[in-house]
Amino acid sequence: MMQNETSVTSLVSAFARAYHSQNDAPKIFDDFIAKDLISQEEFLGIRENMIKGISFLNQDIAQKFQDQPDEILKWITQVQLSPTPLARAAYCEKVLHHEMMLGVNQYVILGAGLDTFCFRHPELENKLEIFETDHPATQEFKRKRLADTHFHIPKHLHFVSMDFTKMFSEQDLINEGFDLNKKTFFSLLGVTYYLSKEEIFRLLNHLFAKVPPGSSIVFDYADEKLFEEKGVSNRVENMLKMASVGGETMQSCFSYNEVENMLEKAGLLIYEHLTPQMINDLFFKNRSDYLSAFETIHYIHAVKK
């Protein structure tokens, strides 16, 4: 990510969630607040850039819908932008609610971007402490956007500015009220691709060094085919190119055995692993639109021993 610039991927992800909430049915994940965190100018700018970029993504679709910009946008959003942000959020929040029934009352969102969980679930104000961590520039942007749109920041939402590529600071969390003695749920969504394997391993070690057994994490990762797989309409290859153009080059992919070994060294066991086919069956089955699970992307729920 560029210094002092908010994450491009966080804006595009919010755009994809907002588009889905407003236009698609049935809904995989209804982020009905995402639209409020993107200005009209930003929304229209992303929309225009996506439509103009259709020739870069798919010449056949550009030709087929050359006079139908809304159809072009639908194709790009449903094929390229939405599948992973929607399904991973739906899965993560399903696991979180289950973990809360097992006693979790601390939730740390790593790389929170423009996450809206807190605002979509005001009923959890006295049940769950939420800690959003992200790059300082991204958090500054989000806090300004919340102020501009007159969102009230509730007392159980805590912002913790942090750059994962340098060092994870548990003290910064503690300063905001985080309790190392309480079982904690972590999410790390849309982040592992952009970190080196060493950075990911170091982060996991820091996260779980002192929290109690039973604490857990949900994260998504790209498998070892990331840099070879083309995907439907070349969307995997396009994802890599789009990330690079946005200044956030994808670095890491793993085999399942690599992930399992890395987690074991950090004191974690895999509780659930969802392959692309399993994700498709869970979240995209029997749809009549373009939405389908992204090739090469897997989800993991891992628990501290």
Q: Which of 108, 136, 298, 130 is nearest to 222 (CA)?
A: 298
Range 83-304 classified under CATH 3.40.50.150:
yes
Residue 242 pLDDT: 87
| Residues 265, 266, 271, 272, CA torsion sign | negative
Q: Which of 94, 105, 90, 115 is nearest to 34 (CA)?
A: 115
Residue 7 pLDDT: 66
Q: How many CB atoms lie within 10 A of CB 144?
A: 11
* Neighbouring residues of 30: CB distance < 8 A, sequence distance ≥ 6: 20, 21
Residue 248 pLDDT: 83
- Cβ–Cβ < 8 Å for 186, 108: yes
3-state secondary structure of 90: helix
Domain boundaries, the chain: 83-304
Q: How far apart are CA 287 and CA 124, in angstroms?
A: 32
Q: What is the pTM of this model?
A: 0.95
Residues of the chain scoring pLDDT < 50: 1-4
Residue 2 pLDDT: 40
Residue 165 pLDDT: 72
